[in-house]
Chain A
Amino acid sequence: MDYPFDAIVVGAGGAGLWAALELAREGVNTAVLTKLYPTRSHTGTAQGGVCAALGNLEEDHWEWHMFDTVKGGDYLVDQDAAEVLAHEAIETVIELEHMGLPFNRTPDGKIDQRKFGGHTRNYGEAPVRRACFAADRTGHMILQTLYQQCIKHGVKFFDEFQVVDLLFEGGEPAVGGRAAGVVAHRLADGQLHTFRAKTVLLATGGFGRMFRITSNAHSLTGDGVAMCYRHGIPIEDMEFFQFHPTGIVGIGILLSEAARGEGGTLLNDLGERFMERYAPNLMELAPRDMVSRAMYQEIRAGRGIGGKDYLYLDVRHLGRKVIEEKLPDITDFARIYQGVEPLTEPVPVQPTAHYAMGGIPTNVQSEVVWDQKGTVVPGLFAAGECACVSVHGANRLGTNSLVDLLVFGRRAGRRMARYAGTVERPLPIADAVEPVRAGLEAIRGRVPAGESTSVIRAELQAVMMDKVGVYRDGNLLTAALAKVKELEGRYQRLSIADRGTVFNTELLEANELGYLLDLAHVTVAAALARTESRGAHSREDYPERDDANWLKHSLAYQGEDGPILRYKQVSITRFEPKPRTY
């Protein structure tokens, strides 16, 4: 079936929902497509808070937030974008409150704020209370509030419609083609539908599922990013993937940085607060890349708990009231998933793959740009984790993922509404669904039976975790590259058992594995090429940051035999790169 709309939003997390809300307010005929139900989106799992320099409890300025973001990102942040982020964070948080978001409150009834990693007063002096929060379910409340507003404004949702291809008119983006819609697979009956529109927003989230231990939902498979890549749009800064310090051992579920923001400490086997040695000023509230590296160093030195590969997060001294009122969910996670009582016991933690700093290159209007000069793909937008604007550079600060998706989701919606008023709707494209139909049918009908999705996926996740994790070097990355290529070959012979059309989740998981393989290949290639250490990309064979050669963003284009890497410059406006100490 062919659905004509004016705007399409792919993904119903925070970025997609806010964009849809802006479009609805402007009266643009909009459809939101999600492979889940909107309230299942991964924005809902964000815990600790959303930073905005409201200054409700102490002096704060958006310029300080901007500086922290730039320094936290090891100076690979585009500073024009960081300025937008820090400045507009304030009005977006206020607007969320007006929409009804139930923030915790100060005694005088304002939005309550707490400390978070890397967020400081006066350009790095000491931690500042900047993170606005709703207990430790801030993301849940953001997702709920935005969905509520979309219902209020009559946004049209297509739930459980999984987008499987992008459509362009006038050729592919590299020859000037413009966005023309998407192809979606309806889970309920397996039918393919085209959604034609003047403008398309990709808000499909991250791809942490390429790693074995991750905080990411099963559904985070990088669909939007990989679809862009396959249409000749490059992917930016893929070598930078964040490992969050405090994941539940073995399964990676996150225990929020809010635990440390409220005063929780990290301990080694000797009971030492080892962060003293690595970040004497901010201690446990140093940025995540530094804390994760410090944890690996402790484990390597034999100071993991019982000599094993984990450490302790200790919140016992915070007392029952703080733990139950401000950290209830993560306390519950420790009880359920580890059988540990945080009121009386330290909680075992280890780093977990958490967030992609890289993604689809965009400008500050959330428009997708496809070359080093910033040429826009007309009508195509991206926002949230799938995009790289780049406000996170080489390492994202805690809470800035929510700030990013709110600020740039809102900007995307506003810009799309204006753009939709200036162009005609694309004409139907003959046989638009055929390429993707052929690809899916090849998987569904393949004989003889080959390997399953789960086998290849498990091997991919293992190699990415073991060789492309917190610490990297040339040998590990070279071995990882060979393994990913081998898996790509085996993927071509993969088969599935389910030949049906109704909720064929096996077929969709196989298709998603193809996206993960593409993105893993780019991640490894970009990491191998970058012979320096910066932010989350830490090369043991190149331990220093090298601004003379590497103060630049990578752009990976799909080539015949794998990614082709090019580079583009970083926007530096206010803050010259300096050594990064905390």
Chain B
Amino acid sequence: MNVDLRILRYDPERDPAPHWETYGVTVNPMDRVLDLLIKVKADEDGSLSFRRSCGHGICGSDAMLINGRNRLACRIRVDQLGRKISVAPLPGLPVVKDLIVEMSGFFGKYRSVKPYLINDQPEPERERRQSQADRARFDDTTKCILCAACTASCPSFWARPEYVGPAAIVQAHRFIFDSRDEGAAERLEILADEDGVWRCRTIFNCVDACPRGINVTRAILEVSSAIVGRRG
């Protein structure tokens, strides 16, 4: 089948501003958008630039705005999108070139929530024990691949780029609810800040955007509840 693929192009060394280009591409309905981008780069314009690595939804490189929703290009198929497909960089992040956005701010926020196990007890000789129920408590948020699809779908983040954003809160949740971790108080203090969890307006865009199926809004609300509980 033939598809009209519109791509928002921008080359900082040549273009005064981003502009749309349309490419006619012959595709298989099971092709992913990433396959289409690779095809355009091979056959139409080698300068088309985008990030990609694993090609099956695990590395998190190729989140972009596809037909108006944040998706991983390697996980969304042509037959899910129809004959007119538009692709643009993730919203709310500075565009570097074509579909590539500046990610350092995003990773800076990730780092700000202390995303590592905090436990100063002496380590046992063997593994620390953890019940299956305690392990299940934070299972959902261990799936995060830091693709930024959620944060870049959040109107609260678009309105206030200082907001720590859903991805960083998901990463904090993964430790706050891990029975082996002792750093919850420090993280809750960070997230109780004016640019922490209270910026969430439960719009649920993040849940729609997450390619890993994480219930992001629920994770944010659980962290908010923990902050309230701490104060009580």
Contacts and interface: CB of A to CB of B under 8 A. Distances in A.
Interface of A: 36-37, 39-42, 44-45, 94, 97-100, 102-105, 107-111, 134-135, 137, 140-141, 144, 148-149, 151-152, 159, 188, 217-219, 253, 329, 332-333, 336-339, 452-455, 496-498, 500-506
26 contacts: A36-B53, A39-B146, A40-B51, A40-B60, A42-B53, A42-B59, A44-B58, A94-B127, A100-B117, A102-B135, A109-B132, A110-B129, A134-B142, A137-B58, A140-B145, A148-B117, A152-B116, A159-B104, A217-B55, A329-B58, A337-B32, A453-B46, A500-B13, A502-B11, A503-B49, A503-B97
Interface in B3-37: 11-14, 30, 32
Q: Which of B12, B114, B145 has the most CB of A within 10 A?
A: B145
B138 A102 contact: yes
A456 B46 CA distance: 14
Given A109-B130, A253-B55, A505 B60 contact: no
B59 A108 contact: no
A39 B115 contact: no
Contacts of A503: 49, 96-98, 100
A144 B58 CA distance: 12
A127 to B, nearest CB: 23
B131 to A, nearest CB: 5
B225 interface: no
B59 A151 contact: no
Contact of A36 (B50, B61, B116, B127): B61
Contact of A454 (B42, B57, B98, B146): B42
B208 interface: no
Given A40-B53, A503-B49, A105 B178 contact: no
A105 B97 contact: no
A277 to B, nearest CB: 32
Contacts of B115: 148, 151
B132 A107 contact: yes
A41 B60 CA distance: 10
Contacts of B75: 336
A497 B56 contact: no
B129 A218 contact: no
B97 A218 contact: no
B116 A40 contact: no
Given A39-B59, A502-B13, A98 B128 contact: yes
A498 B51 CA distance: 16
B41 interface: yes
A36 B138 contact: no
B54 A45 contact: yes
A37 B147 CA distance: 11
Nearest to B30: A339
**What does DSSP make chain B's interface, helix, strand, loop or mixed?**
loop
Given A39-B59, A40-B59, A496-B46, A502 B12 contact: yes
Interface of B: 11-14, 30, 32, 41-43, 45-47, 49-61, 75, 77, 96-98, 100, 103-104, 107, 111, 114-117, 119, 123, 125-132, 135, 138-139, 142-143, 145-146, 175, 178, 180-181
B135 A111 contact: no
A487 to B, nearest CB: 16
Contacts of B61: 36-37, 40
Given A39-B146, A502-B96, A503-B49, A109 B41 contact: no
A489 B124 CA distance: 59
A8 B76 CA distance: 38
Nearest to B29: A339
B132 A105 contact: yes
Given A134-B142, A140-B143, 4 more contacts: A94-B125, A337-B30, A503-B98, A505-B50
A108 B61 CA distance: 38
B53 A218 contact: yes
Contact of B59 (A36, A97, A102): A36
Contacts of B107: 37, 159
A107 B129 CA distance: 10
A138 B77 CA distance: 26
Contacts of A137: 58, 142-143
Contacts of B130: 105, 109
Contacts of B181: 100
A97 B56 contact: no
Contact of A97 (B13, B14, B104, B128): B128
Nearest to A219: B53
A219 B51 CA distance: 10
A454 B42 CA distance: 6
